[in-house]
Amino acid sequence: MSSAEVDSTPTTTPVKHDDHADSHDVKLTPFNVLRYIGSIGLLIFSIIIVAALMFTGNTRVAKDANPWVALIVCILAIVWLSMIEGQQASLVGLPPVDPTLYKDSHPLTYKNAALAFKGDNLDRYLMGRQFMVLLVVFVINQCSSPLDPKVDVLGLPDGVKFIFLDIGLAMIIFTCILGQLTTQVNASYAMIDFINNYFALFTLYTTMVVEFSGIMHASYLIQNILAAVSGKPISTNEEPKTGMTFAFFWGRVLMSLAILGFCLAVTLSALLNGQTSVAVKYPSISPGLAVFLLFFFMSIVGMLEGMQIAFFAVAKLPASERGTSFFGKKTCELLFRGNGENLPGFMIGRQLTVVCSFFLVGSFTSLTIEPGMGENIFGVSDGAQAFLNYGFQGAVITTILASITWQLAASAFPIAFLNNPATFILLVIALFLERIGLCAGAWVLASVQKKIMKFEYDEVYVGTPEERIENDHADKEFDSDAGHLYGGGFTGHVCGSHDALDGPMPHSKDALEAKRSKDALEAVDAQA
């Protein structure tokens, strides 16, 4: 059965995933095969040299504990990161779909959905998830990043060590491929199968606990400020907060602001006094330049986080309304060229750039102060100083100021993001990184994981969006107003769709017929 037949035949009868494979699988070309081989080879090399680095005792975890602890913690962090990233793709894509369609066949997916889609829990999940991503990446950094760049690793030349270990290309490669892209690729088309397990449910509960703790609640203050400035009210599925609920919420906001202020004070003080890892790795960088570079890389993260929100927001607009300046129009022209194939390409290149910036920020926030030597920052205890040395305060700063804030700003002002010249430059860089195929091996590993885990495409269980309409299970409208988060990675994909870029999907039979009539007329005009 062809994909055209699937799209035009209303049915709720499950069909084999092979019938849908042509709608999703990447076509093998000599160039793609070359990229896959090169990327897998680069991944293997990266894993070998990072493992060798750990067993020299030249990473913080290997030094403070032992190399085996560093290796095991790094592996566990990568595995958990892969679930966090894949689960996000599932939970962002499933809200419009009627959960009764998968309630019986996938009970754990239904439990995930029942919790995540209740009230404003999806926003809470994305808030907690964002911090968890940064926290896990910082853990990987502490397990895998060299303390002393002069230590020998497998007899490698200094130039190779500088690129792969000091700059962190090896960490970036295996984190992106193993910890992010592989599961994102599968979860974007197998949303229902991917989270049908207790690991996903545990991860969801963990993100909710992280959000409830209030560490990130300063973001809600920023959310309200941006909503007021933009004049766009924040939509909510819950009653207004009153009484103790109101006091508890804003109490956590104040606590979060205090935590953020302390984290900034610790980081800036250490940078200005040359007490961070960046002073050891790159001694030529002055304290003032180090402060500038910290905020520069955080701005890069923020731009890339905001760009994905802005791109998916303007994808729903007519082409004439997508850009109002020279750079805005150039950005849209490049992004939506053809059938929008550059949008998924941007998401992959973006991932590389963001993770690179995360690791660099980690170098600027990891401290090198030896506890018990009388130099503890702000006179904290030796235990507190040992904890601060790991640089997790950088995860707090980056999540709030470089990730969530910029996502919220892009949600409120998507056109302003498009018109920014930096957006066009970063888009070109992201597309270039995707094109050269550094992480192309993720598609190979995704295919292997799909076969091992026996993932099926979503349309096998719930049909395509058009089929759901014709069978009276039309997708629900889903708010995309200002002030909402949509996470990182693969977002914007409609469950069961065969399109790389869906745009506005019809939500009723009348809308579906109108869309089909319009498509038919456009096809006739194209032939003419």
pLDDT tens column, 241-293:
889 999 999 999 999 999 999 999 999 999 999 888 888 888 888 999 999 99
* Gyration radius (Cα) of the chain, Å: 24
Residue corresponding to tokens 């020279």: 326
Q: What is this structure's pTM?
A: 0.84
Lookup: tokens for 42: 């680069």
Which amino acid, residue 496? G
In sequence order, what are the residues at sequence separation of 6 or more whose Cβ sits closer than 8 angstroms to the Cβ of residue 68?
none
- Between CA 90 and CA 126 the distance in angstroms is 12
Strand, helix or coil at 276?
strand
Element (H, E) at 514: helix 509-527
In sequence order, what are the residues at sequence separation of 6 or more whose Cβ sits closer than 8 angstroms to the Cβ of residue 512?
466, 469, 470, 506
- Between CA 498 and CA 23 the distance in angstroms is 5
Burial class (CB in 10 A: 0-12, 13-18, 19+), 483: buried
Strand, helix or coil at 238?
coil
Residue corresponding to tokens 């690791």: 359
Q: What is the DSSP letter of 500?
A: S
Q: Which residue in 317, 115, 291, 119 sits closest to 200, CA to CA?
A: 115
Identify the pLDDT of residue 517: 55
Lookup: tokens for 453: 């885990």
- Between CA 443 and CA 185 the distance in angstroms is 7
pLDDT per residue, tens digit, the chain (528 aa), is 333 333 333 344 444 445 555 555 566 788 888 989 999 999 999 999 999 999 999 999 999 899 999 999 999 999 999 999 999 988 888 888 888 889 999 999 999 999 999 988 988 999 999 999 999 999 999 999 998 888 899 999 989 998 999 888 999 999 999 999 999 888 888 899 999 999 999 999 999 999 999 999 999 999 889 888 888 777 788 888 889 999 999 999 999 999 999 999 999 999 999 888 888 888 888 999 999 999 999 999 999 888 888 887 776 666 666 667 888 888 888 887 765 667 777 888 888 889 988 888 888 888 888 888 888 888 889 889 989 988 889 899 999 998 899 988 888 888 888 888 999 999 999 889 888 888 888 889 998 999 999 998 888 888 877 777 777 777 776 554 444 555 443 344 566 555 544 433 444 455 445 555 555 555 555 565
Lookup: tokens for 402: 């470089």
Element (H, E) at 510: helix 509-527
Identify the pLDDT of residue 501: 41
- Between CA 81 and CA 203 the distance in angstroms is 10
Strand, helix or coil at 367?
strand
| Cα 186 off chain centre by | 14
Q: Which residue in 335, 506, 502, 524 sits closest to 417, CA to CA?
A: 335
Q: Which residue in 206, 190, 359 sits closest to 182, CA to CA?
A: 190
Q: Which residue in 320, 483, 342 sits closest to 415, CA to CA?
A: 320
